[in-house]
Structure 1
Amino acid sequence: MSLATPLPPHDADRLVAAAMAAADVAGCVIRPFFRMGVAADDKSDQSPVTIADRTAERAIRAVLAERLPDHAVLGEEFGLERGGARYCWVIDPVDGTRAFLTGRPIFGTLIALLQDGEPVLGIIDQPVTGERWIGVRGRPTRYESRWPGTAGTRECPEIGLAELSCTSPEMIADAPTPHWDALRRHAKRVTWGGDCYSYGLLALGQVDIIAECTMKIWDWAALVPVIEGAGGRVTDWHGRPLHADSDGTVLAVGDPALLPGVVSLLTTGSPKHA
């Protein structure tokens, strides 16, 4: 958990309002393209990108530039603007483009704010189901939805009782250690798919552990305030805080008691250090 100072209430409210407005605009852009057979281009890393990704990021940037013109913005599709500012917004307009392309409503828009390089605000927005998670450092995570539910991770101190999630087996093929399968064998069960939506489910107490790799800063920055504000922890596979130069591994646990054992499994293949 970060020990940095929480945002002052007035600043936090103003920044949350800007992030919410940006998420609202992105949703208006994305929804008309959903299940409409939009074409996808392959980027240099072979990941797909669509008109929805690009247009939504432009819309988010426009809202933030209007409201907070002195802040930097880093987006997956269009890079960095106004670098060097103390505050930097980090955007993934459609996290889970493969899910979006195949009509699965488990993608999301991620909007984060970094203060001096640390995530202090994060939004996970699912524009089709109407779900939104709002995390602010120093505050409990808020969950907004047409369905009943309250943000909060669940108690699950034993790996053998834990629900484990990961976006895809292909992701694990590029893991920096060979021990992910040891975690899978110790967990109660594993489910695949979900992208950022799985992290929202962890913040609702539906999932207990998520361990992924090849993650860029726009993939994880918004998740940190959401999950930590719901009572969980987010680190790399070694249990270290995430930062811009992290190795791409991301570990999220709902019950902080899980963290030492899961880190040990991912790094050594054993639930306890020798």
Structure 2
Amino acid sequence: MNDKLRAELVALSHRLADVARTETLQHFRTGGLEAANKLQTGFDPVTIADRAAERAMRDLIETARPDDGLLGEELGNKASKSGLTWVLDPIDGTRGYISGTPTWGTLIGLHDGQSVIMGLIDQPYIGERFLGGLGQAEFTGPHGKAKLRVSKTQQLANATIFTTFPEVGTDADAQGFRAVAQQCQLTRYGMDCYAYALLALGQIDLVVEAGLAPYDIQGPLGVIEAAGGIVTDWQGGPADQGGRIVAAATPELHAAALERLLPYV
């Protein structure tokens, strides 16, 4: 891939995040936002903001790069003619969004048919953006710009671990998480995609989850790998199609987490 194309794709990813910000912020904490339930059993909410943000991003891609593929949480799939597919989650953490917590985000991944080559996590309300891939590993926020770099933590005993359990995954998945978490220094819950952003920023060390779709993980995967971290499934295999996920700051920490998860694979 040449430098001109790289620059074009990075610029487009920022434009996508910008239009999603507009759509999501106009409904956030405004009161009276209705959420439909996508499940017959349980609660998986979707709002007008989810659909409007994804539509705005898809329209922009269709105009700028009509041969690229599309995979979105709310509005379906479109096959790629160019070899590149944009993977979109307009609001990752809709439960948090409708509750008013600023831990949700817009996720954008770019897949070349073999792997994720770029990812973006955007938190519109606090104005933070995390971009990784195609030569980028950058954070922008209220304090300005900084390079993304994972922590150097190597031992579970020194690690901070995050998850969205028990909201996602099964009881058996949660048992696997607890097997890792009980060895860690600090455990926090319910952060959705913001946990992955904090891992790429070097603030935390480990994320263990399950039940994820491709659009839940491809954006974070691109960001974390560009920051020097590792993202796999619970068996150490590719994570781009979702499922059970381990994201770690260092190879040593990753290996330790996989060892603790082995009985639950």
TM-score range, shorter chain: over 0.9
1-structure distance, mates of 2:136, 2:22: 27
Task: Give the Cα separation in 2 of the matches to 1:175 and 1:28.
Answer: 39
Distance 2:249 2:74 in 1: 30
Which of the two has greater strand per residue? 2
- SS of the residue aligned with 1:121? strand
* CA distance in 2: counterparts of 1:174 and 1:49, whole angstroms: 24
Instruction: Structure 1: state its 5+ residue gaps.
Output: 1-6, 270-274
Amino acid at match of 2:102: P
- The alignment status of 1:232 with 2:193, answered yes or no, reads no
| TM-superposed deviation, 1:261 | 1.0
Correspondence for 2:203: 206
Alignment length, in residue pairs? 260
Instruction: Establish whether residue 48 from structure 1 lines up as the match of residue 45 from structure 2.
Output: yes
CA displacement at 1:178 relative to structure 2: 3.9
Cα distance per residue 1:133-181 (max 9 Å; x no partner)? 11114x2411011125541111101110000100132425344584321
Aligned counterparts, 1:29-178, within 5 A: 29-37=23-31, 38-44=33-39, 46-83=43-80, 85-137=82-134, 139-147=135-143, 149-176=146-173, 178=175
Pair 1:266-2:261 in alignment: yes
Distance of aligned partners of 1:17 and 1:77 in 2 relative to their CA distance in 1, 3 Å threshold? same
Q: 8 Å contact 2:165–2:174 — kept in the other structure?
A: no
TM value normalised by structure 1: 0.90
Sequence identity of aligned pairs in percent?
A: 36
TM-score by structure 2 length? 0.93
Structure 1 residues 73 and 172, CA gap change in structure 2 (3 angstroms): closer
Counterpart of 1:24, as a letter, is: D
Q: Which moved more, 1:116-125 or 1:174-183?
A: 174-183
Measure how far apart 1:268 and its partner are.
2.7
Q: Residue 4 of structure 1 corresponds to which residue in structure 2?
A: none
- Choose from 178, 190, 196 the match for 2:187: 190
Q: State the partner residue of 2:12.
A: 18
Cα deviation, residue 257, structure 1: 1.8
Which residue matches 2:238? 241
Q: CA RMSD in A?
A: 1.7
For residues 163 and 155 of structure 1, the distance between their equivalents in structure 2, rounded to whole angstroms, comes to 12
